[in-house]
């Protein structure tokens, strides 16, 4: 576990995950759909040209290794985890969407896509 008052980074979380599940970088990479070299770069804190794992890969990591929550994985990667979307919230959003004009819907779609792209590319 991370030291009190100190946030665990992704390399530390991956070390714990490997110990907890008895897996290798290659097994982690296979389960989340990335190259072994990608996981190795996270383990050794190498940034390369990217900004670290994207949201989809962080989510896949928590799904493949459920002893590590999505919130825990995202925090270790220095990211905010996506908010929940309950069926009720989804229904409310769709109802609001239907009340917008076609032009307003296009504008909101552009805005939402930009926010999602920003979240995928990192902090």
DSSP string, 62-100: HHHSTTS-HHHHHHHTT-PPPPP--HHHHHHHHHHHHTS
Residue 1 lies in a domain: no
Residue 66 lies in a domain: yes
| 26 and 72 housed in the same domain | yes
Separation CA 119–CA 2 (nearest Å) = 25
Q: Decide: pTM greater than 0.75.
A: no
What CA–CA distances, in Å, run from 117 to 56, 82, 100, 109, 120? 12, 13, 23, 12, 5
Residue 2 lies in a domain: no
Q: How confident is residue 35, by pLDDT bands cut at 50, 70 and 90?
A: very high
Tokens of 4: 């009190």
| 57 and 92 housed in the same domain | no
| 69 and 92 housed in the same domain | no
The residue range of the domain holding 114 is 87-121
| 91 and 72 housed in the same domain | no
Q: Between these two residues, 19 and 80, which has the higher pLDDT value? A: 19
Q: How confident is residue 121, by pLDDT bands cut at 50, 70 and 90?
A: low
Per-residue pLDDT reduced to its tens digit, 62-93: 999 999 999 999 999 988 887 878 899 999 99
């Amino acid at each position: 576990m991370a030291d009190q008052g100190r946030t665990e980074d992704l390399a530390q979380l991956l070390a714990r995950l490997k110990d907890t599940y008895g897996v290798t970088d290659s097994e982690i990479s296979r389960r989340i759909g990335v190259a072994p070299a990608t996981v190795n770069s996270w383990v050794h804190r190498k940034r390369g040209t990217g900004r670290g794992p994207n949201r989809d890969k962080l989510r896949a990591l928590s799904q493949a290794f459920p002893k590590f929550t999505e919130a825990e994985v995202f925090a270790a990667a220095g990211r905010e985890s996506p908010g929940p979307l309950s069926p009720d919230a989804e229904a409310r959003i769709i109802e609001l969407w239907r009340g917008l004009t076609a032009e307003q819907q296009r504008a909101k779609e552009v805005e939402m896509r930009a926010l999602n792209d920003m979240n995928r590319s990192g902090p």
